[in-house]
Amino acid sequence: MEKNNVKEDAGFAGIDAAKEVGEISYRALQKAKGMIKPGVRLIEVAQAVESYVKENKYGIAFPLNLSINNEAAHYTPSIDDTKVFSDNDLVKVDFGAAKEGALGDCAVTVDLSGKMQTLVEASEEALKAAISIAKAGVKVREIGKVIENAIISRGYQPIRNLGGHTVGLHELHSNIFVPNYDNGDETILEEGMIVAIEPFATTGKGMVTESDVCEIYSYDMEAQTRMKEARILLGLIQKNYPTEPFAVRWLANAMESSFSIYAGISELSRSGALMPYPTLIEISGGAVSQAEAEIVVEKDGCEVVTK
């Protein structure tokens, strides 16, 4: 039992389970991709895709991310979101399903402008290059190097403070980081590891920072608060979302006003009960593309499970 727990922490979450959630995650991602068109509301896509996964008897690893243009990650619609896609948007779609602690994770970029295809291809080709060398014994810095080379060769920059990661049970970002450049990390991949590889390419400087927009949180710990709204929300979160991240809009029916919900969430975040996941933006305002797949590391290669 102790040995298995160590392996789960290192990204060994069960190959059969990874394949199962990988397949439904990919299907959900393709559904989202097909819905993204100018004039369509972001919240319509998010609700449809998340409902699709639930209807197929799966949980959600994290809320559907619909990050646009210089947003690299973590944007999901708010409770009263009115935002629609425009014909100039570059949309990163990032999503994963869940089942009994096994978590999927995959992403694609949709270019509604038709003008950013080379940037989209930069992250896609970088992902292919990384998958082509991923196997047991390969150092994560080597994966980062091929990602970096693929992106730079197309005239763009990799985002250096984002990257891939091992995936454990109930732990989307496990303890091994897979960089998007050669960061000198000698850590090696081991056979049986579940790894999400996710190159980000940008027209900007290649770094992201947190914005002041946050719609995704996860439960962190019990905390005392005097605010009634915060106490009500904490009970709901502990009951319904004790492990994986959740979207504030999932709590829309908890109270009569969205103001009360956001006030309660803010109090819980300040108290340490919740961990926030702010929207990440490229520091120089550069456009960002993303491609991501989840793999199982094998002795002589790897198998993509988000397919």
pLDDT tens digits, residue range 266-304?
999 999 999 999 999 999 999 999 999 999 999 999 999
User: Is domain 2-211+285-304 annotated with CATH 2.40.10.10?
Assistant: no
Q: Give the span between the Cα atoms of 68 and 86, in whole angstroms.
A: 10
Q: Give the span between the Cα atoms of 78 and 74, in whole angstroms.
A: 12
> What's the pLDDT tens digit per position in 132-188?
999 999 999 999 999 999 999 999 999 999 999 999 999 999 889 999 999 999 999
Give me the residue spans of the domains in the chain.
2-211+285-304, 216-276
Q: Give the span between the Cα atoms of 11 and 120, in whole angstroms.
A: 28
Q: Which CATH number describes the domain made up of 216-276?
A: 1.10.10.10
> What's the pLDDT tens digit per position in 62-113?
999 999 999 999 999 999 999 999 999 999 999 999 999 999 999 999 999 9
**pLDDT of 262 above 60:** yes
Per-residue confidence (pLDDT) for residue 4, from 0 to 100:
34
| Residue of 49, 57, 62 whose CA lies nearest to 96 | 62
Cα Rg of the chain (Å, integer): 19
User: What burial class does residue 212 get, using C-beta atoms within 10 Å of its C-beta: 0-12 exposed, 13-18 middle, 19+ buried?
Assistant: exposed
**pLDDT of 220 above 80:** yes
The whole-chain average pLDDT of the chain stands at 95
Per-residue confidence (pLDDT) for residue 224, from 0 to 100:
87
- 41: DSSP letter: B
- Which residues are catalytically annotated? 94, 105, 165, 173, 198, 292
Let me know: does 96 contact 62? Beta carbons within 8 Å.
Answer: yes
| Residue of 295, 284, 301 whose CA lies nearest to 104 | 295
> What's the pLDDT tens digit per position in 101-145?
999 999 999 999 999 999 999 999 999 999 999 999 999 999 999
Q: Half-sphere exposure of 95 toward its Cβ, with a 13 Å CA cutoff?
A: 34
- Say yes or no: do domains 2-211+285-304 and 216-276 share a fold: no
